[in-house]
Amino acid sequence: MVTGQFFRKMGAAIAAATALVPAAVSAQDAAVLTQNDAGGYAEPGQFHLQESVTPIMDSIVAFHDGILMWTIALIVLFVLALLVVIVVRFNAKANPVPARFTHNTLIEVIWTVVPILILVVIAIPSFGVLSDQMTVPDGERKYLGANIFSLGEVEVPEATITIKASGEQWYWNYEYVDQGVAFDSNILSEAEIAEFKPGQPRLLAVNNELVVPVDTTVRLQVTSSPTGVIHAFAVPSFGIKVDAVPGRLNETWFNARETGIYYGQCSELCGKDHAYMPIAVRVVSAEEYEAFITAFAESRNYAEAASLLPAL
């Protein structure tokens, strides 16, 4: 915990010193599609990160749009300037007799030390964001959120729901740990989408979505079948990506602030149907979730419980 807080504090401090333009943090507002347009997944031609709906993804977007983009832009401009100088001043016409020296100690020290410093500046806030993702809220710990460059911290309530996601070959099994109920989630074919869930995206739509309440912290335990292979649970709009390893229980969390369906995929090369085990998380109101989970716990029938939710 102490190490995570150190990285988080140092990351925010360095980022604040290097982010010269505050507007960089809010660049996502102008660059990404709204949730209604994007539908919780990337659209053709989209060049920015998916819209953030969690504090973790807020940090990732701010980190990407701020320190990373400024660093990349400055490096590209510097290299371009060097190339122009070399082309103009050191071509064969301008220098018919080339210099014969082979070393310059000062330059060699600079091109070794400066990249190291750049990597350190990038790494420290990156560790802070990673620490946020891997530390489940306890109601007291602060999180970087979207204000990573202004030293702002986000209060996140402790987790009240625990869900276990198990990677199978090749689909997902979700268990509501506190209620002791589980269900499988499989990809839908194009024909099934047209018949049962028209309008949902190809290769991302599933028969049974993971249902969670809005504005609620969810502890997500991720594993894989003991006799299976390594998978990875990833939902871009939530900013989470966790390996599902046989015999190991990894943890992350999310707190979605907007209702809707958010899609992800297994992001580990897990076998022949790797591309066909999508993730669909349906975020609903607290009242809708309560009705769903109560019915599911009583009937042990996902379809019956899901029928209580509003039509998609």
* DSSP conformational letter for 23: G
Residues 244/233, Cβ–Cβ less than 8 Å: yes
Tens of pLDDT along 187-215?
999 999 999 999 899 999 999 999 999 99
Distance CA 256, CA 284 (A): 10
Could you give the residue ranges of the DSSP H alpha helices within the chain?
Answer: 2-18, 27-31, 35-38, 55-63, 69-89, 105-134, 190-196, 286-299, 302-306
CA angle (12, 31, 197) in 5-degree steps: 110
Distance CA 216, CA 197 (A): 26
2: Cα within 13 Å, side-chain hemisphere: 0
Average pLDDT of the segment spanning 52-78: 93
Residues 244/167, Cβ–Cβ less than 8 Å: yes
The domain spans of the chain are 2-155, 161-306
Query: CATH class for domain 161-306?
Result: mainly beta
Q: What pLDDT was estimated at residue 237?
A: 95
**Six-digit token string for 1:** 């915990």
Q: What pLDDT was estimated at residue 33?
A: 35
Adjacent-strand bridge partners of 250: 222
Q: What pLDDT was estimated at residue 311?
A: 85
Confidence of residue 15 (pLDDT cuts 50, 70, 90): very low
